[in-house]
Amino acid sequence: MKPRNLDDLSNLSMLELFRVEAENQTSILNSGLLELERGASSSENLETLMRAAHSLKGAARIVNLQALVGVAHAMEDCFVAVQKGRVQLGHAEIDVLLRGVDLLLKLSRREDPNGAAGEPAHAAEIQGLLDALVKFRPNTGASSKASTTPTRSPTPVATVSEEAKSPSKRASAEPKPRDEINVGIASRDEKRAAVEVSDRVVRLTAENLNRLLGLAGESLVESRWLRPFADSLQRLKRQHGEISQQLDHLRQFLDQHQLSEQTETQIAGLFHSVSECKEFLGQRVEELDLYDRRAAHLSHRLYLEVLRTRMRPFADGVRRFPRMVRDLARSLGKEVRLEITGENTQVDRDILERLETPLAHLLRNAVDHGCESPEERKLSGKGTEATVRLDARHSAGMLVVSVWDDGRGVDPEYLRRVIVQKRLSVPALAEKLSEAELLEFLFLPGFTVKESVTEISGRGVGLDVVQSMVKSVRGTIRIVNEPGKGLRMILQLPLTLSVLRALLVEVAEEPYAIPLSQITRTLKLRREEIESVEGRHHFRFGDQPVGLLAAQQVLDCGTPKAPGNDLPVVILGDRSTRYGLVVDRFLGERELVVQPLDPRLGKVKDISAAALMEDGSPVLIVDVEDMVRSIEKLISGGLLARIERQAVAFAETKRKRVLVVDDSLTVRDWEEKFFLNGG
């Protein structure tokens, strides 16, 4: 279960603090029980489970939640019995204990856990659980019965207080990485221990953290301003050197003539002053260059350190998935093991929160669609237990998250038949589609390969949600399919939403930034490679025709310039809808600090955000998805052809010349204006 993300615990009541601790402890119980079910019944694991149940019981006593005390105490007795070898835990026993964990969490979240009239809430459910625990917990009936008494015993409170004074024991149950600042939640014991240990916990609100990150970004941008200033001083130094050379030539020329002593003294003084200025300017330029490097390095380090406070380990966002996969597999009669790698991979807080729902969809699809039943796996020569792997890693400046299963994969021919049956393609065209093109249909809203709708899947919503989320954060998703061996979903996402790697282009003498992750290709297109079909311009990219249009036309910022021999083109869109955008020139790649637009502006067409250049000038960041939609509207509305007829026709090798002949001056003048205005 994912712990609550509270910004400041200092103003919370005891009951609210207990709820935070309940989420932490139930997360430990969930993880430990799943480990036990997989056969990892180590003494350390059992000790962790017993301590979590005991701590939760003691905390519940402190806030007088007797309903939780009884359940936690009964579960603690079970763990003690397992630890002493009196009980063996199987799937049925783990199911009951997991029910207990869910009940503990449910009770902790209620406003009146003990009931409005003193009767425990969910009394029937609690008693049913206690009865189930008694059945496989020998010789502990009296203990269980006593635990349900509403009286408050002082002895367990003392026991809990002793444990609360010993944070080292709690730390062993839920280890935290050292040498890092944790921004977010901390348990009640960690609050007390914060003043006793060297690893202090600093709690900041999300708003303060965002402001701090914004200031660090501004500091980084301001430090870059020194570089253009230092370059201008270098140019001044070179000009000063040229003046010095010209003066030296003048002195050589004057040496050939007889000059008065006073004049020679003045010339010598002038040369001495120029020499001193040159030396002084050189020293100041070197000092400024050194200061520029130090300031840029310091600002970059400051920004990275602040940025790290926004990062959270990947494990924080996937804690509930092992339990979810286990319960889903058992409900489907399957044996599935979830393996998570890269748990310590650092992920931006905002991206991690957005990832939770898409990953849940992918994991459910993997278990329901991909993983076979034990009988099917035996027939195909596989082990009875299927494996689903969730992996997170950093690669080439991006976050790569993949969900892989060793199930049946997707049969391309079956998928082809489903596409035809749903009338998404005619049979003749469907036969020509490649496997990669067929798999793209899985992302369509409402598309599913299942014949019936269940509570788990069959409505064709999951992959559509995944793709929408990935596109919203400027990421990409692709499918690697191995029929009979498994399916892999690979999500490539930015490491953070605060920093953007982008290609800067110039359009109508203004810079625009296009996110690199959403660019298919950049190229210089020769004019002879451009084709004209039905009044629209295209070029061949691989085996696919790509529509070509001017960026000024889409952004509505003037008439396209007359092209040169090679056109700078940025290819946008996915495989099904690609367009080539002609820009004036490429300005290079940049790493930009994203600055959101003022909310009062609303949604700016084709623009997602802004940033500042090294010299402090603003640059707009293109919303590629919105721009593709704008292009499609231009095409569907017939505006594209009309605008291009008014613009310079860059499909021609040179301008056409028309000779107008008429014996009437008035007619010739009218015909000339007619042709120049485009008819």
User: CA-CA distance, 462 to 357, in Å (whole number)?
Assistant: 9
pLDDT at 226: 76
Q: What average pLDDT does the segment 314-330 reach?
A: 89
Residue ranges matching CATH 1.20.58 in the chain: 209-309
Residue 524 identity: K
pLDDT in tens, 328-381: 998 888 999 899 999 999 888 888 888 988 999 899 989 988 899 999 999 888
Answer yes or no: is pLDDT of 405 > 80: yes
Interhelix angle 123-135/66-83, nearest 10 degrees: 10
pLDDT at 561: 64
Q: What average pLDDT does the segment 557-572 reach?
A: 76
CATH of 313-494, one of 3.50.50.60, 3.30.565.10, 3.30.1330.10, 3.10.350.10: 3.30.565.10
pLDDT in tens, 570-599: 999 876 678 899 898 899 888 887 888 888
pLDDT at 525: 87
CATH of domain 14-189: 1.20.120.160
Answer yes or no: is pLDDT of 197 > 50: no
pLDDT at 543: 76
As its CATH architecture, domain 209-309 has Up-down Bundle (1.20)
Return the SS3 of 465: helix
Q: What average pLDDT does the segment 555-561 reach?
A: 74
Residues 6+ apart with CB under 8 A from 404: 366, 388, 389, 391, 486, 487, 488, 489
Answer yes or no: is pLDDT of 168 > 50: no
pLDDT at 174: 39
Cβ contact 343:321 at 8 Å: no
pLDDT at 230: 79
Answer yes or no: is pLDDT of 287 > 60: yes
Residue ranges matching CATH 3.30.565.10 in the chain: 313-494
370-379, 408-417, 435-444, 555-564: least confidently modelled range: 555-564
Where does the pLDDT of residue 457 fall: very low under 50, low under 70, confident under 90, or very high at 90 and above? Answer: low
User: CA-CA distance, 407 to 475, in Å (whole number)?
Assistant: 26
pLDDT in tens, 288-313: 888 888 888 888 888 878 878 888 89
Q: Which residue has the tokens 């941008």?
A: 221
Residue ranges matching CATH 2.40.50.180 in the chain: 499-646
pLDDT at 1: 41
Length of the chain: 679
The fraction of the chain above a pLDDT of 70, given in percent, is 78
* Nearest alpha carbon to residue 56 among 30, 29, 89: 29
134-143, 456-465, 587-596: least confidently modelled range: 134-143
> Mean pLDDT of all residues in the chain?
76
Torsion angle, alpha carbons of 324, 2, 339, 347, to 10? 140
* Nearest alpha carbon to residue 72 among 113, 107, 104, 119: 104
* Nearest alpha carbon to residue 227 among 303, 298, 289, 300: 289
What is the number of other CB atoms lying within 10 angstroms of the CB of residue 432? 8
Residue ranges matching CATH 1.20.120.160 in the chain: 14-189
Count of H-run helices and E-run strands, the chain = 23, 18
133-137, 229-233, 538-542: least confidently modelled range: 133-137
pLDDT at 117: 42
pLDDT at 489: 93
How many degrees, rounded to 5, is the angle at CA 398 between CA 471 and CA 629? 20
CATH of 499-646, one of 2.40.50.180, 2.40.50.100, 3.30.2320.30, 3.40.50.880: 2.40.50.180
* Nearest alpha carbon to residue 363 among 483, 235, 491, 269: 491
| Host H or E run for residue 533 | strand 531-533
